[in-house]
Structure formats: structure tokens, C-alpha cells
Amino acid sequence: MNSTGIAHRFSPRMLVVFFGVLLAALTLSTLAISPAHADEINTDKYDYVLTGNAQFDGEPLDGVLITVTGGGYEAEVKTGVDGKWKIGVPEKGTYKVILDEETLPEGVVVTKGGAELTAEFGLTKVKSVNFFLGEGVRTTVPFFDQFLSQFVNGLNFGLLLALAAIGLSLIFGTTGLSNFAHSEMITFGALMTLAFSGLGLPIWLAIILAIVLSGALGWGLDATIWKPLRRKGVGLVQLMIVSIGLSLAMRYTYQYFIGGSTSQLPGAGQADLKFGAVRISPIDLASMGISIVVLLAVSYFLLRTRLGKATRAVSDNPSLASASGIDVDGVIRIVWIVGGALAGLSGVLWAYFRPGVSWDMGFQILLLVFAAVTLGGLGTAFGALIGSIIVGLFVELSTLWIPSDMKYVGALVVLILVLLLRPQGILGRKERIG
Amino acid sequence: MIDWGAIFSNAAVELISPTTAAYALAALGLAVHFGYTGLLNFGQAGFMALGAYGYAISILTFGFPVWGAVLVGIGASVVFALILGIPTLRLRADYLAIVTIAAAEIVRLLFTTNSFASVTGSANGLSGYKLGFAALNPIPEGTYGFGPFENNAYDWWLRIVAWSVVVLVALFIWQVMRSPWGRVIKGIREDEDAVRALGKNVYAYKMQSLILGGVFGTMAGMIFALPRAVVPSNYQTSLTFFIYAILLLGGAATILGPIIGSMIFWVLLSFFSGFIARAVEAGWLPFMTNVQAGQLRFILVGVAIMLIVIFRPQGIFGNKKELAFVH
């Protein structure tokens, strides 16, 4: 990733401001409800605590980012002004403790043992983990190599976004619905894969079953909610708000059943293969391959089959399509099934890309999917494909210049800029936007 | 046994709590946008975040007085409304929806990122900006009130200011919607082209409405920040959806709707969570944990939004003829 240039440091002036704020916070904290401790997390929630102290030459280092992962649990914390950090963990297990070298001051690196340590609890409930920090220069990866590997990452991300975006765009094109519950259809695919693989089924079978069920979910949602509402003649804005309510209800139903933790699908986190400068895991390769094959199949369906042509006709002008003898309701049903299955597959691939399955994973990319669809032109399937790849590339490549916790900001800003310059999107037609 | 007294009194506290006032004010802003003008603003959480952060940062980083901090927040939201409105107000309604939701997320991510942690406090947020507001309190020290409405001087001061702002804003919207300006705004909701044909600059009117409602959202954000700390995770998209739930419950194109809607929403929500939590403790619901009981209320809000929009789109106080849904 980006090892040069943008490392986060405190300049002396920023430090003064920081301490000023801190001092103000301390003196005023009689009124504050919960004074936030920057250097402790979940220590009051869990009994087991990992702790450490980031020091260099006897000087404490603050703002160093420490991440703990293990057993589906993940937490991160920044060291306090005294250089100390504490992270509570749910059980007595083995955890990976990672120090983000980007957050170390310039000229300081982890000298021995690496920036990633494994911690195991002994007899006590507190385990201290310390990194060996010393003087040194971080080895930097040449810019072009970083660019290339982020490009491949972005392509992978864009392709998986495209799977969800095409479904969303087809549904919008045929029914006019901006489906905010699409994110929950994405999550559904990943959740079902997790459930089936948890039952002991091989992963390929689990994924296929999950996609079939996702298609069924799409059909079910259309049959129980959207079709009756269309019959009732409910307005488009109303439908959109209904989809928001549905999204909220489904999302928290997922959380009700699986809780707030992140679980990994089998095979996630495999070692990278090297192709020249590009490091890529077998899972990523498979993910890109599957996306491309499925996208080609969808294109073939839309361009060459009778049903696909009917779908495009309905998307173009529903009443005309209906008058030409096309079964509009049938087409919409197919679109929901295909859209659900594509969203489910996209969810599985997203679970491997993040990596991890969590209750709100779909919602995390919903806006990017919407951005992709809008970029390409609302309601055009191939526009959604192009828009997704642009968004995917943009999100991953932007981390070369901006901090990675702001990578989604770039994509959303581009969305607003495109609407300013070419509101109909890349492939959209002007009359759609009026 | 279930302690019904505690459940009822906790629910009654919400009736006049500053949070209820903040949601009512944000919903009033949304009523201007959505109910009266027909603008689909899904970024009210962004306006609220700008208010809360504008206020807190002005005081903590720049040492502004209270009135200066309020003005900074309002100024930020006017700029935000202009940025949102210029590209989207000429486009179809759903474009504004997507752009506002995206812009609110941008705002939240910018406040969350570690890059500006020295000013924004990143994910931990900000606290300790209440001294100036507390110093303006004319009420002498002590506790006042009775039963669930017993509070100390600071809490009463906060409640009085919060609800006064709500009442003033409600009166203002009531007057302004009866004025010629308000009639044009409502005309835009009903038939934009007809209003344009009458020679009105629809774009400018929509922009004014966006700014006005946004400023109310910003003031709501400040009130929302006063009883707690400013934490970026409070300003997620779900916040906007909750405010929509309140607005739709009360009635989108009404003055009383957002206020009563917010009271009903919070009292019911508090009652419901209190009841479920205690029912779980008492062992009435053996299949549910306490954490799950907390999530149940979000599920319920989602279902409630769907049912209201489908079966009573005009809300409690609304008039079926005055719906922003017709297009």
C-alpha cells in the first residue's frame, strides 16, 4: 500500500492545538457526560485485556494505531499521550496485534519481530504486547508497483460492485424503484454462505445455495411487497421510502441473529501469489474470474435472448412494451430474481474482499453502488457496469494519495461532480433526468 | 416482577427531553424540504453534524463565544446547502436524494478520519464545549420539578432553550408558509412546471427552501450535541431515516406533525425498550438476550416507516390532499 508521503504525523503546532483541546476537555469534563479515553477500548466490556506501551528512546509515542484481531473480534486503538494502549478482548484466546507503521513518527520503524505479533493469554487476564521500535527508514515500494497493485484491487472491487449495480439498475429501469434495500440483498448472500458453510457444506456448494436463496429472496420481496404496492398504484417516492424502512428492518434483523461481530468465510486470507509487482491472492483471482464470467452471461442474456430483449423493452417504455404483448409483470419478476441472485453473489465476493461477513456489510457499499449506477446513467445496465469499474478503480487508486480512511469520500465527491457536469451519466440519455 | 413505574417514568422523561426537541426541530426542517417543497433531502444528518461540529470546534479550537459558534454552524450549513443544491436542484427528485445521502456521508467521514484528529477528535469525537452555554444560565442552582420531570438547573435551562427554539421555528414556518413565498413553495411541490409557467424562478425558490430547512437541521444538531458529546457515529444515515420516520408519523406538510411526532416517537421507543429490557430480565422472553432486545426497536422503526407510508401516507395530522408523494 502507500508507504510513503502521507504518513500521519503531528506537527508541533498541531500538537499544541491537540494539547490545548485536551486540556480544555479535562478542565471542562465536569459537564461532559462520557470523557473519551483515546487509549482504551472495550476494557470495561470484557475481562481480558491486551496492553502495551509504544516508546522510542524513552519518549512515549502518541497516536500510534494498534489493531487487534482474532476469533472474529476486531478492535483498534490509538496510543495515548503517555504512549500506552489497552484493548479489551472477549475471550482468552490467541490474538493478532498489528501496529500500523504509517502512524509512527518519521524515522521510527519496528526493528525486530515485525509489526504484527501474536499474543496468547497465560495465567493472567492481562497480557502485555510490546513492539521493538528503533531508528530506521521504511522500505518503500516503487510508486508504479503500488499503482499496479491498487489498480488490480480496484478492478476486483469494481467488478463485484458491478454485480450489485446491474441488479439495482435493472430494477430501477423496469419499476422506477430506487431500492435502498439492495444492500440487505447483498448482505443476505454472504450471510447464507456463512450459514451453509457453518453447517459443514463445502464452500462452493454453500455459495451456490446462497445465490439460489438470494434469487428467491428477490422473488419473495417482489411478490410480497413490491408487486402489491405497484398494483395499489403507490407513488415512486413512497416506494423509495418503503425500501428505506425495509432496509432498516432487514439490517437490524440480521444483527438480531448474528450480532455485531465479523466472521470469516472459509479460505479467506490466503497467502498472496506474486505476478511481477502485483501481489494477489487466489481468492481475488477467482473472484475476478467469476465476476467477469457472470457479467458476460448477463450481457448475453440482455442482448441476445428474447427475455433479455423484453427486459430492455420494459426498461425503455413499460406501457409500449405491455402493448406489444410483453408480460411486464413476468419481466419484472425475472428482474427481481436475477437482481437478487447477482446481489447475493456480489455479497459473497465482497465478504472475501473486505474480508469478513457482518450485519451491515452491504450497507457499507450501498452508496458506492448507487454512485456507480448514477455515474453510468440511471436505468442503463451497461452504464452501471462502466460506472462500477470507475468507482472501484477510483476508490482503490485514491488511497495512493489520500489516507485510506477517506477513500470512499473521493468516490462520493466524484458522484457529485459528475452530476454537475453530465447529469445523465456516462451512458444515460438526457430525457431521463428532467 | 416488572417495575412498571420505572418504565412509565423513563418514557415520560422523553416527552420534554432535549433530544426530543432536537429531533422535532430537525423534522421541522425536513418538513420545509420534503413536506412543503417536495425536495427529497436524505442528508439531514449531515446538516445536524455540521451544526454540532461547527459549534463544538468553534468553541474548542477557536475559543468563540456561544453566539459566534452558533453563527459558524449556521454559516457552514448554508454553504453545504448551496453545494448540494447547485448540481441537483435542476434534476429529478431522486438525484437530490442520492446526492444528499452521499454528501452527508462525506461530512461524517471527514469528521471521522484520523487526518483531522487534532480538530475533530476523529472517531472519539469532541466534548467539553458546554461551559459557555452553561454560563448563560439565569436559573439559580438547585433541582426543580416533580416526578419524572425533576432536573437540575442546567438541564432545565437546556430544555427551556431547546423547546423555545422549536416553538419559535414552528411559528416562523407557520407564518412563512401562509405568505406568498410559502404559496409558491407549495405550488412547486404540486406542479413545478405550472409555477415555472407563471414566471417564478423555481430553482431559486427550491434553493431558498433547501437552505432554510438545512439551517433548522443545523440548529437541531447543536441542541442534539448539548446533552451529550459530539461523536461522528451519531450522524449516520440512520439518523436521517429516524427523522423521516418522525416526519411521516406526524404528517409531512404540517407544523404540529413533526413536534408531536417526535414526542410520540421517543416516548413509545423508550417505553418499548424499557418494557422489552425488563421483560427479558424477568425471563418472559427466554429466546432473547438484552442486546437483541435493543436491536428490536430498530426493526420496529423500519417496519413502522413502511406501514405508515403505505397505509397512512399523510401521517397523524396531515391532509391527504397535501402529499409530496404525487410525482
Domains parsed from chain A with CATH numbers: 12-22+36-135 (2.60.40.10), 143-432 (1.10.3470)
Predicted local confidence at residue A29, as pLDDT: 38
Whether chain B has a CB inside 8 Å of the CB on A171: the answer is no
Place of cell 448563560: B136
CB B165 within 8 A of CB B17: no
Confidence category of residue A162, pLDDT binned at 50, 70, 90: very high
More confident residue, A162 or B122: A162
Predicted local confidence at residue B5, as pLDDT: 85
| Helices A381-398 & A143-175 angle (0-180, nearest 10) | 150
**What DSSP character marks residue A130?**
-
Distance from CA of B98 to the nearest CA of A (A): 7
Report whether the peptide linkage leading into residue A35 is cis, meaning its omega lies within 30 degrees of zero: no
Residue B274 belongs to some domain of the structure: no
Residue B253 belongs to some domain of the structure: no
- List chain A residues with CB under 8 Å of B245: 245
Residue B303 belongs to some domain of the structure: no
- Choose the most confident range, by mean pLDDT, from A90-99, A377-386, B7-16: B7-16
- Nearest by CB to B327, which of A32, A237, A433? A237
Residue B139 belongs to some domain of the structure: yes
Distance from CA of A273 to the nearest CA of B (A): 32
Which of A67, A412, A417, A432 has the highest number of chain B CBs within 10 A, making it the mutation to test binding with B?
A412
CA distance B247 to B31: 7
A125 has pLDDT over 90: no
Mean pLDDT score of chain A, rounded to an integer?
82
Torsion of CA A356, A359, A365, A370, to 10 degrees: 150
More confident residue, A294 or B297: A294
- List chain A residues with CB under 8 Å of B291: 259
Predicted local confidence at residue A26, as pLDDT: 41
CA distance A66 to A115: 10
Predicted local confidence at residue B68, as pLDDT: 94
Residue B54 belongs to some domain of the structure: yes
Whether chain B has a CB inside 8 Å of the CB on A433: the answer is yes
- List chain A residues with CB under 8 Å of B88: 419
- List chain A residues with CB under 8 Å of B109: 405-406, 408-409
Predicted local confidence at residue B1, as pLDDT: 65
Residue of A nearest to B228 (CA): A33
More confident residue, B34 or A381: B34
Whether chain B has a CB inside 8 Å of the CB on A420: the answer is yes
Cβ separation A405–B113 shorter than 8 A: yes
| Cα–Cα nearest to A179, from A209, A208, A207, A217 | A217
Condensed to tens digits (0 to 9), the pLDDT of residues A317-361 reads 888 998 999 999 999 999 999 999 999 999 999 999 988 899 999
CA distance A140 to A143: 9
* Concatenated DSSP letters of A169-190: HHHHHHH----TTHHHHHHHHH
Predicted local confidence at residue A137, as pLDDT: 63
Per the structure block, which three cell numbers stand in for A409?
469520500
Please work out, in degrees rounded to the nearest 5, the angle formed at the alpha carbon of residue B80 by the alpha carbons of A184 and B118.
85
Distance from CA of B299 to the nearest CA of A (A): 4
Residue A287: CB atoms within 10 Å? 22
**Sheet strands side by side (includes A116-120):** A73-78, A65-70, A94-99, A116-120
Which of these ranges, A18-22, A265-269, B237-241, B297-301, has the smallest mean pLDDT?
A18-22
Domain interval for residue B180: 19-235
- List chain B residues with CB under 8 Å of A413: 106
- Nearest by CB to B310, which of A14, A21, A242? A242
Which of B310, B322, B326 has the highest number of chain A CBs within 10 A, making it the mutation to test binding with A?
B310
Number of structural domains chain B divides into:
1
CA distance A428 to A375: 9
Residue B165 belongs to some domain of the structure: yes
Which of these ranges, A11-20, A90-99, B28-37, B216-225, has the smallest mean pLDDT?
A11-20
| Strand runs labelled E in chain B | 143-144, 151-152
| Cα–Cα nearest to B22, from B168, B171, B219, B220 | B220
More confident residue, A138 or A207: A207
Please, what is the end-to-end C-alpha distance for chain B in angstroms? 52
Residue B124 belongs to some domain of the structure: yes
- List chain A residues with CB under 8 Å of B313: 238
Q: What percent of chain A has pLDDT over 90?
A: 35
A1 has pLDDT over 60: no
**Would you give per-residue pLDDT tens digits along chain B (327 residues)?**
678 888 888 888 888 999 999 999 999 999 999 999 999 899 999 999 999 999 999 999 999 999 999 999 999 999 999 988 888 888 777 778 888 988 999 999 999 888 888 888 888 888 888 888 888 888 888 888 888 888 888 889 999 999 999 999 999 999 999 999 999 999 999 888 999 999 999 999 999 999 999 999 999 999 999 998 899 989 998 899 899 989 988 988 899 999 999 999 999 888 888 888 888 888 787 777 777 877 888 898 899 889 988 888 888 888 777 765 554
Residue B295 belongs to some domain of the structure: no
Place of cell 489516507: A403
